[in-house]
Each structure stands twice: as C-alpha cells, then as structure tokens.
Amino acid sequence: MPYFAAAGYDCYAVSLRGQGRSDRKTPAGEPLKVSGDLDSLTDDLAHVVAGLPRPPVLVAHSFGALLAEKYMTEVARRPALAGVACVCGVPPTGNKDIVVRVFKKSLWEAWKITWAFVGKSFARSLDEARFTFFSPDLPKGDLIRYQQQLAACSPVRLLDLSALNKARRGQLVVAAHCRVVELKCRCWCSLLVLLQLSPGCSAPDAVVTGRSQRSAPPYSQVLPLPALPAAAKQVPAFVGGGTTDIVVDWPAVQETAAWFGVQPAQWQDMAHDCMLDTRWEEAAASLRRWLDDL
C-alpha cells in the first residue's frame, strides 16, 4: 500500500467481519467461527464502497478475489467501481479444482499445504511459512517479520470452504453472521484494498470505519459463480499471478482471467503473498501500469 500511496493513490485496506479489529463475536455474544458467506461479505464490501467519495478500484488477493468476483456478478445493483484487480486470486469456481490438481501433482505437497491451513503450521514454523506463502530467497529477517504478522491474524475463518464446496453440489448452505465491519488492519491471506487516484496523497493509507446495515438474515452461497454479466464487462479488469504460487496455481489464474475476458499478467518466481514476496515490486509495477492507464 505505501507503494501505491506514493504513486498518488488513496489506499483503503478492508478488514472484514471477524478479521483485523472487527468484532469476533456473534450478536448473541458467542465466538464467531466464520466471518460470513459470499452474500453477507459482499454486502459489507458494497456498504464500504458506497461511503467513499468516488468509485474505487477494488484490488483483491487470494480468497478476497472470490468476494470481488461475487461483487462483479451483481455490479449493476452495487455501488460503482472504477476497476477490479485479482492478484493470486481464487477463481470463480472456488479452490476445489486447485486442491485436486495439487493432489494429482504431489501427495506430500498436498499434505503440507493442507496442514499449513488446517493446523496453522505457518504460524509456528518459519519453514512452513516460507513453503506456503513465500519464495526460497526471501530474506530471513523479512520472513520472521511476516510470520509474526501472520500469527497475529484473526483465527476466524473468512469463508466456510467445506460449505462452499457442498454448494457446488447443489446443497443450500447458511453461514454465520456478525454485525461489525471495521476498516483498519490488513489481513495478509485474504486482502482487499480499495484504491482511488489522488495526486496530492502523501499518507501510506487511510482508515475508514463502518457498520453493515444488515441485521442477521440467512445467506446462501453458491459456486461456481455465474458468467460475468454485461454490466460488469464495462468495468476494467486486471488479473495476475505467480508461477511458483502453490496456493493459487497458474491454471487457476488463467481461469480467472478467462472469466474476466482479459490476458493475465504472469510473474516469474513469484509466490502466493505477492505483495510481500522477494519480487513484489514486479507485481506492483505491473498493477500500477494498468491503473495509470485507466
């Protein structure tokens, strides 16, 4: 974000329900197990976009891309966006096909990735953190700092992946609800950033807080997402990914690009956390060139 702020863009990091400093309890006071589903979280995102002074560019990473893609399927009835970018993002079919490809490629690698997320091994082991999110040549000092930030992230799951995969088989799923959305802290695993061009901007980021106006209705979530509607095709889109990303592989990046109808930017030797990895400036410069042409 400091990179884009220095380039003249106001930057807003979105901390969703149950993430960052947002409320981690249900309205009844129970610990929140999952932040929400695609519908409720997209509602919250729309509430934030509506409160900004002008349409932003939505930049989404990892599972944040699913929310961006969901937003785009409903863009005709949502607050306007100036553009959307998905970097190392989960495609509109979800992550199930990615998992299948990893299992076919290597059972050992599949087990390590599964344990990294289920057992949060990346929060305890530098080697696991590097394997899952970063390149082999990331300096150890940076790795230690990033792992500490990862370990401090909210334990609340952003989405219920098992429910999403069940929904692919036509089953209706209802997700938990939480009432507060606060935009203060970054979540490195599922990042959503809103960018607006502001030539006089000097701050590295801005802080926006807000509450969803929804109470607690049941929401459904269904994958795969439908084809991009005509209204969404008028919104400029950017898709990029790394060749060594083991969380969202290159075929998944290509799938997302095809869904948006664009050619993906390919970053050589780039791992999943492209905004922190050794060659992060390559990804940032690629995205900035696209932004500057909007």
CA distances from 41 to 67, 175, 179 (A): 7, 11, 11
Q: What is the pLDDT of residues 35-76, one digit of tens each?
A: 888 998 999 999 999 999 999 999 999 999 999 999 999 999
Please indicate whether residue 216 or residue 21 has the higher confidence score (pLDDT).
21
3-class SS of residue 90: coil
Q: What is the pLDDT of residues 237-272, one digit of tens each?
A: 999 999 999 999 999 999 999 999 999 999 999 999
Question: Which of 94-98, 168-172, 239-243 is predicted least confidently?
Answer: 168-172
Question: Under CATH, what is the fold of the domain 2-292?
Answer: Rossmann fold (3.40.50)
CA distances from 241 to 7, 82, 185, 248, 286 (A): 22, 21, 24, 8, 11
Report whether pLDDT(207) > 50: no
- Supply the pTM of this predicted model: 0.84
Our separate counts of H helices and E strands in the chain read: 10, 8
CA 176 to chain centroid, in Å, comes to: 19
**Mean pLDDT to the nearest integer, 188-217:** 48
168 pLDDT band, cuts 50/70/90, is low
Model pLDDT, residue 87: 98
Report whether pLDDT(235) > 80: yes
Model pLDDT, residue 79: 97
Dist. CA 266–CA 270, nearest whole Å = 9
Question: Which residue do the tokens 């802080």 mark?
Answer: 207
Check: CB of residue 205 under 8 Å from CB of residue 1. Answer: yes
